[in-house]
């Protein structure tokens, strides 16, 4: 019996990775691309990478980035599953509270994320970087973890079942060393989620 | 009533007896890995779960090139567990019928489709043909498999080879798992439900180097049965 479903956000619920999307829109793609690639693969620790990427992306106004993030396409199969199982679903993401707030309103489930301080619509400091293992520890009972990046590892370790989802990009190799399932299609993903 | 089917292909094993340093799903027969021939035969089945363990990434990378809607199920303990453990993991959550086949079974598409069309718990058998067969006793009168192993009397039973192909209801599987029968071999999961209806299939299992040669001959002889799936 599953008590909770913990979803990664970027590249799982969203049809594209958010930080590269922001980078493209504000013209810092080259600086972000390599960092993101190595972060997803687990070559750079997530916290180090996030701090670095936030530093680069913080050159733009928070409201501008929030708008860019809000317009991202969401996976319709996953969204449908979430709507049907709202009371059990949570988003667990390293992304920033101020950037994803509008997007999360569209999904309409609770979110655990990284937090920043802002002043005059600009980020002044990264207050907390979400550690997914610690976030998962706060859930009592059986939970299923769904994600694709190296930073989902801690959440996968604690999950009763874990599903690596490769719908947007290839899941991190180390995640597959502990995952229960792997799928590349969101309909297959939602099929197994509804059976667990 | 039409039942829903989940097909589980167990490909986690090392395949030591074959001595090809390759998981059996990936051994090439007539220019295609064995699993490709299986997936062709399963073209019309939507719920396919493939259990991977040894050389998991190679199996995944190959299967992805054929179809992307498969659910891969990991058996990370493939070195210490058997096919029963793989099947139990993959059957989690299945509501109706489970069809289980091992990654080393070459079965023709018409034969597999006819087996599926039975829509009931069933065991697939072949005449004894491999080097190290799993024997089963086929009751001449009822045409059910009464037990695994060789029968004492040829009058009442025919010795056949169980191919590893079976269809079980999810409740049968869950009961066997609850009884702790999911540690080693699939036949141990089945034994509580014997005697069980049986079905003769057109297939060749590949366990040893001589089975591999037999599989090449089998495929050459039956190639035309795959042609419309290609």
Please tell me if residue B92 touches chain A, with a CB cutoff of 8 Å: yes
pLDDT band at A177 (very low <50, low <70, confident <90, very high): very high
Residue A1 reports pLDDT greater than 90: no
**Predicted confidence pLDDT, tens digits, chain B (230 residues):** 566 789 999 999 877 776 777 899 999 999 999 999 999 999 989 999 999 999 999 999 999 999 999 999 999 999 999 899 999 999 998 989 999 999 999 999 999 999 999 999 999 999 998 888 899 999 999 999 999 998 777 889 999 999 999 999 999 999 999 999 988 899 999 999 999 999 999 999 998 888 899 999 999 999 999 988 88
Mean pLDDT calculated for residue range A28-34: 86
Q: What is the pLDDT of residue B1?
A: 56
3-state secondary structure of B119: coil
CA–CA distance, A147 with A159 (Å, rounded to integer): 12
Whether A181 and B72 lie within 8 Å, measured CB to CB: yes
pTM: 0.94
- Please report which confidence band the pLDDT of residue A70 belongs to, taking 50, 70 and 90 as the band edges: very high
* Cβ–Cβ gap A191/B47 under 8 Å: yes
DSSP symbol at A99: H
Mean pLDDT (whole number) for A77-91: 97
Contacts of A184 in chain B (CB under 8 A): 64, 68-69
Residue B178 has which token pair? 């609850």
3-class SS letters over B24-48: HHHCEECCEEHHHHHHHHCCCCCCE
Taking every pair of Cα atoms in chain B, the longest distance, rounded to a whole number of angstroms, is 50
**CATH number, domain with residue A29:** 3.40.50.1000
| DSSP strand pairing (A4-7 vs A89-96) | parallel
Number of domains, chain A: 1
Chain B neighbours among A 136-195 (CB < 8 Å)? 161, 173, 176-185, 187-188, 191-192, 195
Residue A77 touches chain B, beta carbons under 8 Å: no
Closest by CA to B166, choosing from B127, B206, B194, is B194
CA–CA–CA angle B135, B137, B142 (5° rounding): 150
| Calpha distance A181→A161 (Å, rounded) | 8
Q: Is A108 exposed, middle or buried (0-12, 13-18, 19+ CB in 10 A)?
A: exposed
The percent helix, strand, coil of chain B (3-state, each to 5) is 35, 30, 35
Which H or E run includes A129?
Answer: none
Q: Which CATH number fits domain B5-227: 3.40.50.150, 3.90.550.10, 3.40.1350.10, 1.10.1040.50?
A: 3.90.550.10
pLDDT bracket for residue A73 (50, 70, 90): very high
Count each helix (H run) and each strand (E run) in chain A, helices first: 10, 7
Task: Look at residue A19 and tell me whether its pLDDT is greater than 70.
Answer: yes
Chain A within 8 Å of B96 (Cβ-Cβ)? Answer: no
DSSP label at residue A9 = I
φ, ψ for residue A164, nearest 5 deg: -85, 125
Q: Compute the mean pLDDT over every residue in chain A, rounded to the nearest whole number.
A: 93
What is the structure's pLDDT at A181?
A: 98
pLDDT at A51: 87
Name the burial class of residue B83, with classes exposed (0-12), middle (13-18) and buried (19+) by CB atoms within 10 angstroms of its CB.
buried
B interface test, pick of A156, A163, A164, A192 with most B CB neighbours within 10 Å: A192
Tell me whether B76 touches chain A (CB under 8 Å).
yes
Note whether A179 contacts B74, CB cutoff 8 Å: yes
Phi, psi of B125 (to 5 degrees): -125, 160
SS3 A11: helix
What chain A residue is nearest to B60 in terms of C-alpha separation?
A182
Spatial distance between the Cα atoms of B37 and B25, rounded to a whole number of angstroms: 10
Q: At what angle do helices A62-70 and A97-107 cross, to 10 degrees?
A: 30
Please provide the distance, in angstroms rounded to a whole number, between the alpha carbons at the two ends of chain A: 7
Q: Cα dihedral sign for A123, A124, A127, A133?
A: positive
Helix axis angle for A18-26 and A46-57, nearest 10°, is 30
Residue A41 has a pLDDT of 77
Provide the token pair at B205: 């299992």
Q: How far is A196 from chain B (nearest CA, A)?
A: 5
The residue to which tokens 């050159």 are assigned: A59
Cα–Cα dist B175/B192, whole Å: 9
Cα B166 → chain centroid = 7
CA angle in degrees (0–180, nearest 5) for B85-B88-B90: 110
Q: Do B72 and A183 touch (CB under 8 A)?
A: yes
Domain holding A31, by residue range, is 4-195
Chain A residues touching B68 at Cβ < 8 A? 184-185
In this structure, are residues B201 and B41 in contact, taking their beta carbons and an 8 Å threshold? no
Burial of B175 (0-12, 13-18, 19+ CB in 10 A): middle
Q: Could you read off the pLDDT of A97-152 as tens digits, one per residue? A: 999 999 999 999 999 999 999 999 999 999 999 999 999 999 999 999 999 998 99
Work out whether the CA dihedral B157, B160, B162, B168 comes out positive or negative: negative
Contact indicator for B111, B202 with CB cutoff of 8 Å: yes
Q: What is the pLDDT of residue A34?
A: 84
B74 close contact with A: CB closer than 8 A: yes
């Amino acid at each position: 019996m599953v008590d909770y479903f913990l979803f990664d956000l970027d590249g799982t619920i969203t049809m594209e990775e958010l930080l590269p999307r922001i980078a493209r829109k504000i013209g810092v793609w080259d600086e972000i691309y390599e960092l993101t690639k190595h972060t997803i693969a687990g070559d750079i620790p997530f916290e180090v990478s996030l701090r670095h990427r936030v530093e680069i992306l913080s050159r733009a106004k928070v409201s501008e980035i929030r708008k860019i993030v809000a317009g991202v396409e969401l996976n319709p199969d996953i969204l449908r599953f979430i709507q049907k199982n709202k009371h059990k679903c949570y988003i667990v993401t390293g992304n920033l509270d101020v950037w994803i707030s509008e997007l999360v309103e569209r999904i309409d489930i609770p979110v655990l994320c990284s937090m920043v301080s802002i002043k005059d619509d600009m980020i002044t400091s990264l207050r907390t970087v979400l550690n997914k293992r610690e976030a998962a520890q706060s859930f009592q009972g059986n939970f299923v973890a769904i994600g694709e990046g190296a930073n989902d590892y801690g959440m996968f370790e604690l999950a009763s079942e874990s599903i690596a989802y490769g719908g947007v990009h290839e899941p991190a190799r180390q995640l597959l060393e502990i995952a229960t399932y792997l799928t590349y299609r969101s309909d297959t993903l939602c099929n197994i989620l509804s059976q667990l | 009533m039409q039942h829903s089917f989940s097909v589980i292909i167990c490909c986690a094993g090392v395949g030591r007896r074959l001595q090809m340093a390759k998981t059996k799903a990936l051994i090439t027969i007539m220019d295609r890995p064995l699993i490709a021939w299986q997936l062709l035969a399963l073209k019309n089945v939507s719920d396919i779960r493939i259990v991977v363990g040894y050389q998991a990434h190679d199996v995944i990378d190959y299967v992805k090139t054929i179809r992307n809607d498969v659910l891969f199920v990991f058996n990370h303990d493939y070195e210490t567990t058997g096919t029963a453990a793989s099947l139990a993991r993959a059957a989690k959550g299945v509501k109706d019928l489970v069809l289980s086949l091992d990654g080393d079974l070459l079965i023709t598409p018409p034969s597999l489709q006819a087996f599926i069309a039975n829509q009931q718990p069933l065991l697939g058998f072949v005449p004894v043909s491999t080097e190290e067969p799993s024997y089963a006793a086929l009751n001449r009168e009822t045409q059910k498999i009464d037990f695994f192993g060789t029968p004492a009397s040829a009058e009442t039973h025919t010795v056949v080879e169980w191919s590893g192909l079976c269809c079980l209801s999810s409740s049968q599987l869950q009961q066997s798992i609850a009884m702790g029968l999911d540690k080693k071999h699939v036949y141990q999961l089945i034994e509580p439900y014997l005697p069980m209806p049986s079905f003769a299939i057109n297939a060749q299992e590949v366990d040893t180097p001589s089975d591999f040669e037999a599989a090449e001959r089998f495929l050459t002889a039956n190639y035309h049965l795959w042609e419309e799936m290609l």
